[in-house]
Structure 1
C-alpha cells in the first residue's frame, strides 16, 4: 500500500481531515458552489445527465420534508462517517435548507425524499443516492497478478447473518476448490479471516449481499479476479442496478446451483474471463475521477433542494 493510499484509507486521518473542514466557516464553501457546479461543462453532457438522473428522480414526489436544517444538523453532533460524507457537499449550500437522511444499511423504500447510501434496485423514487460511508465501500485496489496466474478456486468470507449466506456456507464449506467460510464477529482470533491481498490470489471471488449491497464488490471489480454473484437486489452510488450480467460480472443462481459449472467454464475460457474483468475495470474507472464524483454529488444535492422547492 502506497503512502497516498494509506492516508486515503486511514480512519484516523479521515476524521482529522473532515473535522478540520467541518470547523471552517460555511461561507468559505458557499462561494465556491457555482464554480464546482460549472465544472460539469468539462464532461460529456450525456454522462452528467444520465448519472444525476439515476441518483435522483427527475420528478420527486412533492411532499413536505420532515427533516432538519443543515445548520442544525451540524449542531446535533452527528460526527459519523455518514455525517461527514453528507456534509462534504452539504456545507456548500445555504445552511437554512432542509435535508432528510437515513443513515446505515437501507434495504426498503422510503416515504419521502431522503438521502441514503443504499436502496432497493426496484425503488419508489424517493431514495436519493449519495456516496455515503465511502471509506468502507469505495475501496478500489491495484492488482498486479494476471488472472491466468491465480489459483483455480473460488473464495468468500463474510458474516452469515442472512439466509442467502447461510445457504452458501452449508453447500460449499470444506469442498475442494471452494474456499468458503464464515466470519464470526466475536471470534477474537479471527480464525477464518483472510486479507484482501490473500483473496486476490484466487481466480474467482464471490460477492454476496448482506443487509444491503456487498461491501467487497467494488474492490473485486477493480481487480484481476472474476466477480461471481447472484443478480443484485440493492444499489449504491456505484449503480449496481446498471451492471450487466456476464458482462461486468458472472451471474450465478440465487441457490448457487450453477456456480461450479461456471467456474469450470471460465477456468477453460481464459479470454472470456479476461473480457469480463476488463469490462468491470472500465466500469469502475469512472468512480476514480474525484472531480467528477464531487461535481455529480453537488448536482444531485442541488437538484434535491430545487425539487423539494427550497431553491429557485
Structure 2
C-alpha cells in the first residue's frame, strides 16, 4: 500500500524523467566531458566501487543483440529511466547489452544488469543502480532498539521456497509475526499487510531473498531493528556480497533452526544487537552521497564503452578509473 509521500515521490520521479526525455538530448551529450571531470572525486571509495560494479578488464565486442542507446527498451519503465539517466550523456549510437529484471545467471556477454548471482566469475554482469525507486527506499527510524517490540516480523510474497520453509519453521514460535499479505497466499500463511514503519516497531526483522535479492534488506539495515537473514546469494548496487555475518546482520541457518536461539541471545545482550545495527547503519550511509552515486554510475558506463572499443578513453579519466 502506497503512502501519500510515496505516491508523490513516484509522480515526481516520472515527471522528472519524462522532462529529461523530451529535452534535446544533445544538451546532455555536450556535457559529458564536464560530468566526467566532476566524477573524478578524491574519495578512494568511488574508484573502488565503480570497479566492483564493473569488473571488466579486457576489451570485448557487444553482442549481435546489443541495442543502441537511442533505442533502449522502454519497459520496464523504471529500468529504462534509471539507465537512461546516465546513458543519455553518451552518443546515442553506442551499442549496449542490457538485461532488465531479475538476473538469475551471469550473462554470456558483458551486460548492464540490476543484479547478479554471488559467484566467482561474475565480471560479465555489470551492475547499475536500476529500479532504484523500489530497491533503495531507506526511510529513517526514530525508535531505539530497546523501545521496540521484543519479537520477530516478516512479510512478503511466497515467490521462493526459502520463504515457505521459513514460515513453516517459525509457525509455532509465539514471538514471531510472520506471514504473507498477498491475496493469493494460502490461508495458513496469510497475515495482514504491514508498512515499513509498522515493521520498524519490532526489534528483529527477517530478510529473505525472493526472485533475486530481498527488497526489504536496505531499509531494514537502515533502521534501528536487527536484520536476521541467511547469507545472500545475489547482489545489486547495494553490494550484498560485502555484508559480513555478525557484523552487519545476524546469519540464519538454511532451515532457520537457530532463529529462536539468536533472538534469545540478543535479548540477553542488547548491546551486541546495537553494535550490529550501528555497523549496518554505517554501511547504508555509503549510498547517501548523491554526488558519489552519480559519479560512480557515469564511470561504470564510461568504462563499459571504453572496453567495448566504442569510445577512445580520455587519459585523465582512464588513469582515474584504473588507478
Q: TM-score range by the shorter chain?
A: over 0.9
CA distance 1:248–1:79, change in 2 (3 Å): closer
Give the 5 Å matches for 1:275-294: 275-294=275-294
CA distance 1:140–1:60, change in 2 (3 Å): farther
Once the two structures are TM-superposed, the CA of residue 118 in structure 1 deviates from its matched residue by: 0.6
Once the two structures are TM-superposed, the CA of residue 82 in structure 1 deviates from its matched residue by: 0.4
Give the 5 Å matches for 1:189-228: 192-228=192-228
- Report if the CA contact (8 A) 1:120-1:233 is conserved: yes
CA distance 1:128–1:160, change in 2 (3 Å): same
**Aligned partner (choices 78, 81, 98) of residue 81 of structure 1:** 78
Q: Which residue of 2 aligns with 1:91?
A: 88
Aligned-partner Cα distance in 1 for 2:100–2:56: 22
Once the two structures are TM-superposed, the CA of residue 175 in structure 1 deviates from its matched residue by: 2.5
2:292 maps to 1:295: no
2:155 maps to 1:179: no
2:287 maps to 1:250: no
Aligned-partner Cα distance in 2 for 1:150–1:47: 34
Q: Which structure 2 segments of 5+ residues have no match?
A: 313-323
2:133 maps to 1:135: yes
- Report if the CA contact (8 A) 2:62-2:95 is conserved: no
- Partner SS state of residue 34, structure 2: helix
Aligned-partner Cα distance in 2 for 1:54–1:241: 11
Aligned-partner Cα distance in 2 for 1:177–1:291: 42
Once the two structures are TM-superposed, the CA of residue 172 in structure 1 deviates from its matched residue by: 1.2
CA distance 1:157–1:191, change in 2 (3 Å): closer
Once the two structures are TM-superposed, the CA of residue 246 in structure 1 deviates from its matched residue by: 0.6
Aligned-partner Cα distance in 2 for 1:311–1:8: 40
- TM-superposition CA deviations, 1:49-100 (whole Å, max 9, x none): 2101110113156243231111122xx6446000000000011111110111
Instruction: Kindly report the root-mean-square deviation, in angstroms, between the aligned alpha carbons of the 2 structures.
Output: 1.9
CA distance 1:243–1:198, change in 2 (3 Å): same
Once the two structures are TM-superposed, the CA of residue 174 in structure 1 deviates from its matched residue by: 5.0
Once the two structures are TM-superposed, the CA of residue 6 in structure 1 deviates from its matched residue by: 3.1
CA distance 1:193–1:302, change in 2 (3 Å): same
- Using the size of structure 2 for normalisation, the TM-score is 0.89
Aligned-partner Cα distance in 1 for 2:248–2:40: 29
Q: Which residue of 2 aligns with 1:167?
A: 165
Q: Which residue of 2 aligns with 1:28?
A: 27
- Report if the CA contact (8 A) 2:62-2:96 is conserved: no
- TM-superposition CA deviations, 1:174-213 (whole Å, max 9, x none): 53001111232447xx952111111100000000001100
- Report if the CA contact (8 A) 1:65-1:308 is conserved: no
- Partner SS state of residue 47, structure 1: helix
2:103 maps to 1:106: yes
- Partner SS state of residue 180, structure 1: strand
**Higher mean C-alpha displacement, 55-64 vs 98-107:** 55-64
Q: Which structure 1 segments of 5+ residues have no match?
A: none
Q: Which residue of 2 aligns with 1:121?
A: 118
2:66 maps to 1:56: no
CA distance 1:82–1:47, change in 2 (3 Å): same
